[in-house]
Structure 1
Amino acid sequence: MINEIIDQIELTLERLKTYLPDRKRPYFDNIPIDGIRGALVYGLRGVGKTTFLIDKISNCKLNFLYLSADNPSISSLPLYDIVSAIFKRGYDGVVIDEVHHGNKWSEHVKALYDDYPGNTIWISDSSNLILKRAVADLSRRFVQFRIPLMSFREYLFLTQNILIETIDPFNIDKNIFSMLRNINILKLFADYINTGIRPIFIEGEYCLRLKGLLEKSIYYDIPFYVSSIQDNHLRVMNAILGHLITAPIPTINISGMCSEWNLGKEKLYNLLYVMEQSELINIIRKPSKSVYTKGSKIFLSDPSVYSCFKGNVGNAREAFVVMCLKEKYNVFASKDEKDCDFIVDDIKVEVGGKNKKMKNADFVISDEIDVPVRNKIPLWMLGFLY
């Protein structure tokens, strides 16, 4: 039976290889997974993890087989037995996608890693929270690689076949403008931030697909990561997302939400922590504030959610700033909003439209401008950080 399943897995992999896109996310080139015997690749649903893994093993010197643990023909069998049989067929390595769907997956993966020291095991999932539920020592064995949401730089490459080096928005190389002078940068940026932050845009029906991914993240993934979660808690998380989409101020009323949902404050803070660790939200705190607080500002991690659900434009703008800057800098909320919106390392940053005033900020990040003017940085330029 297992041999027949492996035959089917081999056929599926060959089929998946034929559907690899001609152009892949440039970020994939920054993931040094080659030569790593045990690796966890994680990131939000729809960021391209499966594409990365299949492309990587298609161009690898080692002989890999790819399988998805949520495949019904696989999920009914012990993961250890399937992978052992794969290695005995002569494969050097295996990729296990959606690994949390495997029954007792962490025990099986640890045993495989220990029993087959000459073989490579790469696993993939939507969050590194899975390692916190894994058996002891697994997290020390597996090197973690995170794939973030897609940058505007990558979107330009996928849609226009233009690849530009990453830039420091606070120290701009003016050569970038000559490279982009023949395209409508603001139009492309609008397309990107509204319906292009995940490479699923290539398949069409972006907002519909995004809605499905969000629902899967809450109702399908989080219960695997947090064993004590209840149905009511999942509904609270969904309500938090719904509130943040349209709220004029990017935060929640802790007391009001606890009362409405009959929750204790500690439980609500814990749910916010889980949402943050699952990368559904970004919580921006003032310097030195505890992780277990609601923070000064809470944004959806994916700015395109705001536009897909007719959300608050100003919050979407700030959510994009946070999404980009946190990949390279430490981002905090300002202690005094009369000074600025954010502290980025030691840089004071204000965010707004093209007429936004400086306050006491070092830089203003402005929407709707195409070139920098003095200390005003176009919003789209943050999309070239990675």
Structure 2
Amino acid sequence: MDKTVLYASVDNIWFSEHKLYDLASDFVKRGGKYLFLDEVHKYPNWSQELKNIYDDLPELHVVFTGSSLLEILNAKSDLSRRAIVYEMQGFSFREYLNWNEKLSLPILTLNNILDNHLSLSVGIVDKVKVLKHFPDYLKHGYYPYYNELPALYYSRINEVVNLIVELEIPQLRGVDISYTTKIKQLLYIIAESAPFIPNVSKLSERIGISRNSLLAYLDALHDSCLTMNLQKEGSGISRLQKPDKLFLENPNLMYALSASQIDIGNVRETFLPTNCVIATK
């Protein structure tokens, strides 16, 4: 066993009586070099303690993960110049095929696909029946846990959505808990209509909130990876700027959240920006 490496799940009850910094310090004294911390956002004031660990224990290499994207984004200022933060996306269609079919399809740029789609497609269909797998990917291939309990896949997605809307957005964006029903109503409207060009005035009137509140909620949903707010090139980005087009973040969310018949054209339109964004991160 390599005693220079330690893994710890920070949501363990042990941390209710022990400090993260003390664990790291003691580990270094015992020859530790690599510390892997999971679910770090569950630990109070975690970003400040990681900052202190970085400053005081330079010989220790720390890798941390968290499942609350908003929490990680909020902590970036504490960890600026000290940590490289990677946002983990769901599976692209390429990754889905590689995982399920044990392939090694390479990453292709959009320009390469547009210029060489005929020759590229011939090489790919020789290896895998793409059309056989594509509908499955659109319905339940984005989040890597789709194979664990397939019958409960959409229930798990809805649990995560409720956690984000009811807990994380109010806590981390200062939204009054009584307004979570408004955010859910907004998300439901997006799920039923996306992708679409939003009319901010009509949307805010329909939900019963101000224009600025609507734009703030759209920004929070985007940062939470529940929606995707696209802007035209050169239009700039700000929290109070109307998106030029609204999407759900991935096609699986459309099937999980929409109560009506899914328009396959809308699903395919959502697929394109989802996979292009994954390829750029």
Quickly name the TM-score band, shorter chain normalised: 0.7 to 0.9
1: distance between equivalents of 2:105 and 2:73? 37
> Does 1:279 pair with 2:225?
yes
What amino acid maps onto 1:236 in structure 2? K
- The count of residues paired between Structure 1 and Structure 2 equals 270
2: distance between equivalents of 1:171 and 1:62? 51
What SS is found at the alignment partner of 1:214? helix
What SS is found at the alignment partner of 2:81? helix
Q: Specify the alignment match of 1:322 in structure 2.
A: 273
> Does 1:313 pair with 2:256?
no
What amino acid maps onto 1:65 in structure 2? L
Q: Specify the alignment match of 2:204 in structure 1.
A: 258
Deviations 1:52-71 (A, max 9, x none): xxxxxxxxx99332222223
**Residue of structure 2 aligned with 1:232, choices 148, 157, 178:** 178
Flag the 1:175–1:311 CA change in 2: closer, same or farther, 3 A: closer
Q: Specify the alignment match of 1:181 in structure 2.
A: 126
> Does 1:162 pair with 2:103?
yes
1: distance between equivalents of 2:233 and 2:190? 22
What SS is found at the alignment partner of 1:299? strand
Give the Å deviation of 1:316. 1.9
What SS is found at the alignment partner of 2:85? strand
2: distance between equivalents of 1:113 and 1:295? 38
What TM-score results when the alignment is normalised by the length of structure 1? 0.62
What amino acid maps onto 2:54 in structure 1? Y
2: distance between equivalents of 1:283 and 1:297? 6
What SS is found at the alignment partner of 1:323? helix
1: distance between equivalents of 2:171 and 2:13? 17
Give the Å deviation of 1:234. 3.0
What SS is found at the alignment partner of 2:209? coil
What amino acid maps onto 1:171 in structure 2? D
Flag the 1:229–1:75 CA change in 2: closer, same or farther, 3 A: farther
Give the Å deviation of 1:74. 2.2
2: distance between equivalents of 1:178 and 1:135? 42
**Residue of structure 2 aligned with 1:196, choices 141, 147, 169:** 141
Q: Specify the alignment match of 2:163 in structure 1.
A: 216
**Residue of structure 2 aligned with 1:298, choices 237, 243, 246:** 246
Q: Which one has the bigger helix percentage?
A: 2
Q: Specify the alignment match of 1:113 in structure 2.
A: 54
Q: Which one has the bigger strand percentage?
A: 1
Deviations 1:62-89 (A, max 9, x none): 9332222223332453322333333334
Contact 2:9–2:40 at 8 Å: present in 1 too? yes
Contact 2:195–2:248 at 8 Å: present in 1 too? no
Where in structure 1 are there 5+ consecutive unaligned residues?
1-13, 15-60, 330-385
2: distance between equivalents of 1:83 and 1:70? 16
What TM-score results when the alignment is normalised by the length of structure 2? 0.83
Structure 1 vs Structure 2 CA RMSD: 2.8
What amino acid maps onto 1:313 in structure 2? I
2: distance between equivalents of 1:166 and 1:242? 33
1: distance between equivalents of 2:195 and 2:133? 28
Flag the 1:132–1:201 CA change in 2: closer, same or farther, 3 A: closer
Deviations 1:138-180 (A, max 9, x none): 2221112222221111111211112222223212261552442
Q: Which moved more, 1:214-223 or 1:190-199?
A: 214-223
Where in structure 2 are there 5+ consecutive unaligned residues?
none
1: distance between equivalents of 2:3 and 2:156? 34
What SS is found at the alignment partner of 2:64? strand
Give the Å deviation of 1:217. 2.8
Flag the 1:179–1:325 CA change in 2: closer, same or farther, 3 A: closer
The percent of aligned pairs where both chains have the same amino acid is 26
